[in-house]
Amino acid sequence: MKAMILRTPGGLDNLQLQEIADPGQPGFGEIRVAIHATSLNFHDLLVADGSIPTADQHIMMADGAGVVEAVGDGVTEFNVGDRVVSCFFPQWPDGLPDSHVSNFTLTPGDGAQGFAAEYVVRPASHFTLAPEGWSHVEAATITTSGLTAWRALVNDAQIKAGDTVLTLGTGGVSVTALQIAKSMGARVIITSSSDEKLERARALGADETINYREQPDWGKVVQALTRNNGADIVIEVGGPGTMAQSIDAVRTGGHIALIGVLTGREGTIPTSKLMAKQARIQGLTVGNRRQQQEFIRALNQTRIRPVISDTFTLATLPDAFRHQQSAAHFGKICVEW
């Protein structure tokens, strides 16, 4: 079978489509899945470009969506023909995170072999059912960015109708957060450096848009748009380079979901201002299997569909990563085969 392999020391030029051994038939508690799609996340890019070291001959990609081809003994949750989607933390079925999910040793595409392959055999608990009627490409957006947005808003921030949500940028997490928040009756403010992308965000339901290049003090703009109350929830994907503005933007007692580190891993935080606002910063990395199942049930009810920016083939995965680096996309970049 074919798989996209990363050779050490990493780098997009070291991604190679290779023939590798078929994984065979499932054992007890396992399922065999024909994978048909994956989607790109910043975490995958860090693996691909060598920023996150991996072993040689590493199969890429954390997200995987496909069809169950065979079911091992003891499996009752899935049947042959079911459409399924992978879990980011297969070792985290439910409950609060613990030391077992403080690293990525079992995360596909990082510490474990990923889903950029035609077939995989994994424990059934590493998957959930995909949303009803979704294509494989659509389902592949759930594993990482989709579940992250859901957990940030619903499980951690406990969003409610009438809340104001500020989301930064127009990547996969932010666009999904926009869609989820609007489906729950929230007001959404979104930022971007592109007026064209902001126009597209308005078409998806964004109530207010801010071009952060034209208005670098966008935290004050959010305050003005909310009559100096601030945003109830901030979806913070930038990290240290944007955190100060997010603290300016959040309301007193509000919630900042720290999801990304697009601007770096360390920086200066105005802690006195954060303390004065009595706001919460909640760091999070994706979510557990139960939360993914809850998200998918909600998707089946709300009929939200993911925004797919661009779709590549497995053989052109390196080009997909280069497109991701250009930041020209709106929503998710996907790969199908």
Fold of the 148-283 domain = Rossmann fold (3.40.50)
Which pLDDT belongs to residue 329? Answer: 95
Which pLDDT belongs to residue 196? Answer: 97
Rounded to two decimals, what is the model's pTM?
A: 0.96
Cα radius of gyration rounded to whole Å, the chain = 20
Cα–Cα distance list, 23 to 27, 120, 314 (Å): 11, 6, 18
| Residue 224 buriedness (CB in 10 A; 0-12 / 13-18 / 19+) | exposed
Which pLDDT belongs to residue 167? Answer: 98
Cα separation of 232 and 255, whole Å?
A: 6
| Residue 203 buriedness (CB in 10 A; 0-12 / 13-18 / 19+) | exposed
Low-confidence residues of the chain, pLDDT below 70?
none
3-state secondary structure of 3: strand
Which pLDDT belongs to residue 146? Answer: 98
68-85 pLDDT, tens digit per residue, is 999 999 999 999 999 999
Which pLDDT belongs to residue 267? Answer: 78
Fold of the 2-141+306-336 domain = Quinone Oxidoreductase; Chain A, domain 1 (3.90.180)
Domain ranges of the chain: 2-141+306-336, 148-283
Which pLDDT belongs to residue 283? Answer: 95
Which pLDDT belongs to residue 98? Answer: 87
Which pLDDT belongs to residue 269? Answer: 83
- Report whether 167 contacts 188 (CB < 8 A): yes
- Report whether 4 contacts 49 (CB < 8 A): no
Which pLDDT belongs to residue 101? Answer: 86
Q: At what angle do helices 289-302 and 172-183 cross, to 10 degrees?
A: 60
162-171 pLDDT, tens digit per residue, is 999 999 999 9
Q: Provide the residue type at 37 as one letter.
A: A
